[in-house]
Structure 1
Amino acid sequence: MSTTAVSGTSAASTSSTSTSATSSTDASDRFLKLLVTQMQNQDPLNPMDNAQVTSQMAQINTVTGIDKLNTTVTTLSSNLTQMQLLQGASLVGHAVLLEGNQLAYNSTTGKAGGGYELASAATKVQIDIVNSAGTVVDSITQTGKAAGRQSFDWTPPSGTDTSNLKFKITATSNNTAVKSTPLMTDLVEAVNTTDGNLTLELSNSGSTAYSKVKAIS
C-alpha cells in the first residue's frame, strides 16, 4: 500500500516563529540597555548629540526589522513546503514520464513501451531493445518523425525475458545523426520533501526530484 511521507508540522513552525520572536525581543532589549548605559555614563562635557542617538535608534529598528523579515520568510517557506507536499500526494499511484531508458513492460497487455525526444526531425529512428547483459534482443524502426516528443510500443517475441530491459535510440536525418533523449515511465509510490524540494519515490527509479518529471498520466 502506498504511503505519503510528510516532513515538518505546524507545531514545529509555530515553535520556530515563537523562538524567532523571542530572539528579536531579546536583541532589542539588549540594545536599549546598552544605549541607556552609554547615555548614563557619557562625558557631561561632551554629551551625545541628537544625531548620534537617532543613528543608534535607527540601527536597532533596522536589526529588528530584518529579524522580523527573516521570521516571515521562514514561515512562508514552511507553508509553501507543506502545500507542495499536499499537492504532490495526489500523484501517488500515477505514472510519470521522465528522462531514462528503462523499458516499461505491462504484463496485462503483453506489451512494453517507452519514448524519446528529438532535437530535430528524423527520417529514421532505430530503437534497440537491450537486456541486462547489454545484448540487443530486438529492434524497432520508425520513419518520418518530427522534432519533439515521440513514443513507441513493443511486443516481446515469445520466450523473451522481460525483466530489466532497456532501450537505445539512434536517430538520423538522411544519414546525419539527430540528437535524441530517451524517455521512460515510472510509477509514483510516495512523495516527500528534501531540503524544501518536492521529491517523488518512484517504483523503479527511487527518489527523484519532481522537477525532472516531464509529464503525468
Structure 2
Amino acid sequence: MATVTDTTSTPITDLMSTMNAKKTTSTDDVSADTDKFMTLLVTQLQNQDPLNPMDNAQMTSQLAQLQTVTGVNKLNTTLESLKSSYQSSEAVQATNLIGRGVLVDGNNVTLAGSKGVLGVNLASDADDVKIVISDAKGNEVETMDLGAQKAGVTPLAWDGVPDATKLDSSGKPITLADGNYTFKVVASRAGAALTDAGGLSLDSVASVTTNNTDGVKVNLSSKGALTLADIRQVL
C-alpha cells in the first residue's frame, strides 16, 4: 500500500514559508527607521541627567532630524514609484512603434525600386541646404538642392535619378542601380557653413527591450538598440 506523506509537517511548512516570505515594502522601511529613531530618543530621555536635562533646542533639533529622515525616505519611495510608472508608459509607447519606419541619425540611404527615404536634421535655420549623395565608390551621383530650410527635421524622398540624367529608348530618365548609398548635408547661413546640420537614415523598429538598468530600448533592424530619444521622426 502506498504511503501518503503529511504535507502539513513542519519541514514542508517551513520550506513554503521560506519560498513565500513576505517582502519588506518601502513603507515598512520608513516605519522601521522612524521606530528606531523614536526608541533612541525615548531611551536618551529616560537616561538623561536630571540635573542637566536636554533643553528644548536639542529636542526640537532631534525631532527635526526625524522629520527630515522620514521625509527623504518617503520622497525616495515616491520617486521610485514615478520612475516605474514612467517606464511602463514608455514601454507601451515603444511597443506601438514595432514595424514602423523611423528616422535616426545617420548618412546612409538605400535605393530600392528607384525609391529611397532620408532626412535632414537642422538645429538652426539655414539659408541654403544641399544633400550630396555618393555611390559605394565615393563618386558623387546627385545633389539635392533644398534651398532655405527652418530648424527641425525634414524627411525626403529620393527617386534615384542622377544629376547627369540620361534617357532610355522610351525617353524616360535612367535611374541609378538599387543598392546602398551615402550622403552628406551641406548647410549654410549668411555664407557661413553650419556645423549643427546632420543627416537622418531610415530604419525600422523590430522589437522593444525593457529592463531596470537600461530602461526602454527600441531594437532597430540596422542600427541595433537605441532609446526613444534617439528617434528623430516616426514615418
Cα deviation digits, residues 161-208 of structure 1 (max 9, x gap): 61x432234457898756542121110112234646543211111112
Instruction: Specify which of 111, 114, 130 is matched with residue 115 of structure 2.
Output: 111
Deviation at 1:112, TM superposition (A): 2.4
On the 8 A contact 2:120/2:200 being kept in 1, the answer is yes
AA at the equivalent of 1:113: V
**Correspondence 1:64 to 2:70:** yes
Counterparts of 1:118-157 in structure 2 under 5 Å?
Answer: 119-122=125-128, 125=130, 127-131=132-136, 135-137=137-139, 139-143=141-145, 145-148=147-150, 149=154, 151-155=156-160
- SS for the counterpart of 1:151 is strand
How many percent of aligned residue pairs carry the same amino acid?
33
Cα deviation digits, residues 11-67 of structure 1 (max 9, x gap): xxxx6xx53222212211211121122112111211223443333223212211211
With 187-196 and 173-182 compared, the bigger mean Cα shift is at 173-182
Question: For 1:174 and 1:25, how far apart are their aligned partners in 2?
Answer: 64
AA at the equivalent of 2:115: K
Deviation at 1:91, TM superposition (A): 0.7
**Correspondence 1:182 to 2:199:** yes
Q: 1:96 to 1:172 in 2, by over 3 A?
A: same
Q: 1:183 to 1:40 in 2, by over 3 A?
A: same
Q: Which residue of 2 aligns with 1:165?
A: 181
Q: CA RMSD in A?
A: 3.1
- SS for the counterpart of 2:126 is coil
Deviation at 1:75, TM superposition (A): 0.6
Unaligned segments of structure 2, at least 5 residues: 1-22, 162-173
Stretches (4+) displaced over 6 A: 156-159, 172-176
TM-score norm. by structure 1 comes to 0.74
Deviation at 1:78, TM superposition (A): 0.7
Instruction: Specify which of 222, 228, 234 is matched with residue 204 of structure 1.
Output: 222
AA at the equivalent of 1:140: E
Q: 1:177 to 1:56 in 2, by over 3 A?
A: closer
Question: For 1:51 and 1:171, how far apart are their aligned partners in 2?
Answer: 67
Instruction: Specify which of 99, 119, 139 is matched with residue 93 of structure 1.
Output: 99
TM-score norm. by structure 2 comes to 0.69
| Greater radius of gyration (CA) | 2
Number of positions where the alignment pairs a residue of Structure 1 with one of Structure 2? 195
AA at the equivalent of 1:181: G
AA at the equivalent of 2:200: L
- SS for the counterpart of 2:94 is helix
Q: Kindly indicate whether structure 1 or structure 2 has the higher relative contact order, using CA contacts under 8 Å at least 6 residues apart.
A: 1
Question: For 1:74 and 1:19, how far apart are their aligned partners in 2?
Answer: 12
- SS for the counterpart of 2:103 is strand
